[in-house]
Amino acid sequence: MKNWTSGFGSILLLVLLALAFAGCRGEAPEGEEGAPASAAAEIVMPMDLGLVTPGVISTDGGEAFPAISPDATELYFAKHGPGWTDFSLHVAKRAEGGWGQPTQLQFSGEYNDRAPFLSLDGSALFFSSDRPLLGSEAGASDFNLWVSRRDESSKWSEPEPAHGVNSDSNDFHAAVTRDGVLYFSSDRAGGLGMYDLYRAVPEGDGYGQPENLGPQINTAGEETDVYVDPDETFIIVVATDREGGRGGDDLWLSRREEDGWSELENLLGPTNSDTYEYGPFITPNRQYLLLTTHRRGLGDIVRVQVASIPPLADVVLK
């Protein structure tokens, strides 16, 4: 994208921003407000891709991996520094016209904690972290999946590793179905590529042996992030520099079929660009797709109407 430096370009930029702002008014889903990038930003978002509560959630810092609670009263996400480091988990409460000021979760901030995802009843919070596994004093050299649970006072418990799914490699970016089936990414041995997506069924107080989603989804490259529909009718896959994409991390769609998953379809339109888009999440009212984009540099949390993405609308709004 080019920078506008002429007087005409500046006027055109202001007109586009005004139109984008007008298009965002009155569309906020369940207390979530979106708006376009500010006039100070060098890169202009597409008019139908809006920052989530600018200056509060999406700021000049780095924000990523949005997830809204099932009752739509809380927005969980990660803040991070330059270079994909120093991740910490935060929550914002629903407020009039958008989201209130976020606060850091009490157990987060010492290690790299990222990619929060809530169970469908809102009682469990899954996330990825390089914190030391229980019984180990040294920091972990890889990411693992962790779970925190709400107590009777709605406070989050001290996290515990997700039993049965962690390996001696990176295991991260969990998504959970209505029945508690866990989807995640891993670079463990025996996969089809650098990072693959896996599925694990609840078993006892943890999960059974994770199964690779197979060659319809995984390649020799990197599939690093996933959103799963609560009823497992579709998944949104994040793949890096995959052939047919726009470059960087792109969002792709796969539908559940009788014999497995359909081939991935790139979610074009306003969703993907030649930089990084990841952390997909469908809002509880199923009207909006939230995601992280690096169009402005560091991560921003943005939203786009599902109806504006025909392949996604076909499975979400049916």
Residue 275 predicted with pLDDT over 80 = yes
Say if domain 7-316 classifies as CATH 2.60.40.1120. no
- Phi/psi for 127 (5° steps) reads -160, 170
* Amino acid sitting at position 80: H
The Cα 215–Cα 261 span in angstroms is 9
Cβ-defined contacts of 179-187 (< 8 Å, 24+): 180/119, 181/228, 181/232, 182/126, 182/145, 182/207, 183/226, 183/228, 183/235, 184/145, 184/210, 184/226, 185/223, 185/224, 185/225, 185/226, 186/210
Closest CA to 124 of 76, 84, 54, 189: 76
| CB neighbourhood size of 110 (10 A) | 10
Sign of the Cα pseudo-torsion (38, 39, 42, 44, in order): positive
Q: What is the pLDDT of residues 148-205, one digit of tens each?
A: 999 888 899 999 999 999 999 999 999 999 999 999 999 999 999 999 999 999 999 9
How large is the average pLDDT for residues 233-252? 91
Q: Can you give the pLDDT at residue 48?
A: 54
| pLDDT of 47 over the 80 cut | no
- More confidently predicted of 114 and 2: 114
Q: Which residue has the higher pLDDT, 20 or 57?
A: 57
The ranges assigned to domains in the chain are 7-316
pLDDT tens digits along 198-217: 999 999 999 999 999 999 99
**Mean pLDDT taken over the chain:** 85
